[in-house]
Amino acid sequence: MKLSILRYLTLPFWVIRNASFSAKPGADFKVALQWAMNWLCMAQDVAKEGGVSLGYDLRKGWEIAFPETTGYIVSTFFNYFYFTKDSTYQNRAIRMLEYLAHIQLKDGSVCGITRGAQSPLVFDTGQVLFGFLRGFHETRDEKYLQNAIRAGNWLVSVQDPDGKWSQYEFLNQIHTYNTRVAWALMELALLTGMKQYKKAGEKNIQWTLTQQGKHGFYEHNAFSSEQPVFTHTIAYATRGILECGLLNQNQEWIERACISADALLSRQRKNGSLAGSYDAGWRPTSSSSCLTGNAQMAIIWLRLFQHTQEKKYLLGAQRALSFLVQSQEKSRLFPWIHGAIAGSRPIHGTYLPFVYPNWASKFFVDAILLYFHVTQNALGHGQHLKFY
């Protein structure tokens, strides 16, 4: 019997096992952080290219390296280096950068996950841009700056006049979560002083705000029109607007991000979780929880706490983190998932069922590191503190 068939036959076991998590206490935040980083290191090692595996699928096993998320995981590893003072994590981040430089196309763009893919994607290129920016900040190696400029030039060249991106889009649909691309371009503008990057970022934020309803919900924010709007992409869109607002000291943008962040904070469940997806009236469209989105919202609430000092944001982040720590995989019997964060809770939920995506663990690590930094100044001060 093929291994893939055997894996499918075990799925009921994983569903039953995952259900037992509700009775298990979570680990200490610092222990949970180390476990998650150990898993991300394993995800890099299995890819064998320097990049980080997309994740572990209970039906198929380990996936190949994913350029998009490797791009923003670079910053996570540099941050963890500052937290631990262990250069192993710094060296791993540099290996990721070398992988990203190798797979970047001549025009500056980056393709999706499919091995041998020839079609570049806007969002993926924007997230890899974050990696190159952090790489230059850390190493001052000019090649990473040139990689970043090439990526930025390509993104500007394919942007629509009104600020959105309609070419080179995932599933050929426009997406408001490209605010994270706008954010990357504005970071590039800050570094280089080149105004075309800031202008492109501003245009995208302004367009996105026309797609935001008065209660904070974004149109065109699902991966496709057939899919629900996951908390994951709501957080993507909100974070991009917030960070651009903070970078530019634009109070209107910050307030517009607050509308969406507050809408979800008011819908946080007693156990600290959020629904996996919502409709335009902020009604849950999934009984499961998107763990990635929970981690991302914890980061947004912490960033808002830093900006406003409003205690509600810190408390919301604390509740979300407690839920995530409880949801983290904890089993020495299954080392390939120990320390990982699943796509959904329960494991067969609507967002990436039976998958442990690398970005769920990445945002979980970022959220805990930012929490330690906000409450204990655990990472010190300086320009290196970038939570992309």
Residue 357 and residue 56 in contact, taking contact as beta carbons nearer than 8 Å: no
pTM for the structure as a whole? 0.94
Query: ∠ CA 327-332-335 to the nearest 5 degrees?
Result: 85
Residue whose C-alpha is closest to residue 297's, from 319, 280, 281, 282: 319
The span from the CA of 46 to the CA of 51, in Å, is 9
The span from the CA of 229 to the CA of 239, in Å, is 16
**Assigned fold of 25-376:** Glycosyltransferase (1.50.10)
The span from the CA of 230 to the CA of 277, in Å, is 4
The span from the CA of 110 to the CA of 14, in Å, is 35
Residue 36 and residue 330 in contact, taking contact as beta carbons nearer than 8 Å: no
Predicted local confidence at residue 6, as pLDDT: 53
First to last CA, the chain: 43
Predicted local confidence at residue 381, as pLDDT: 65
Instruction: Report residue 350: phi and psi, to 5°.
Output: -75, -25
* CA distance readout (Å), 161 to 165, 206, 232, 387: 9, 12, 27, 30
H helix intervals, the chain = 3-9, 11-19, 29-47, 67-84, 87-103, 122-139, 142-157, 179-192, 195-210, 231-248, 251-265, 291-308, 311-327, 358-376
Taking only the tens place, the pLDDT of each residue in 347-361 is 999 999 999 999 999
The span from the CA of 341 to the CA of 327, in Å, is 7
Predicted local confidence at residue 331, as pLDDT: 84
The span from the CA of 359 to the CA of 162, in Å, is 30
Total residues belonging to the chain: 388
The span from the CA of 123 to the CA of 313, in Å, is 28
Residue whose C-alpha is closest to residue 217's, from 162, 285, 166: 285
Bridge partner residues of 278 (DSSP): 229, 284
Residue 182 and residue 164 in contact, taking contact as beta carbons nearer than 8 Å: no
Walking along the chain (388 residues) 10 residues at a time, the average pLDDT comes out as 55 61 66 98 96 97 97 98 96 99 97 73 98 98 99 99 97 96 99 98 99 98 94 99 98 99 98 98 97 99 98 98 96 91 97 98 98 86 74
* Half-sphere exposure (Cβ direction) of 257: Cα atoms closer than 13 Å: 30
What would the two tokens of residue 344 be? Answer: 């959904």
Predicted local confidence at residue 24, as pLDDT: 54
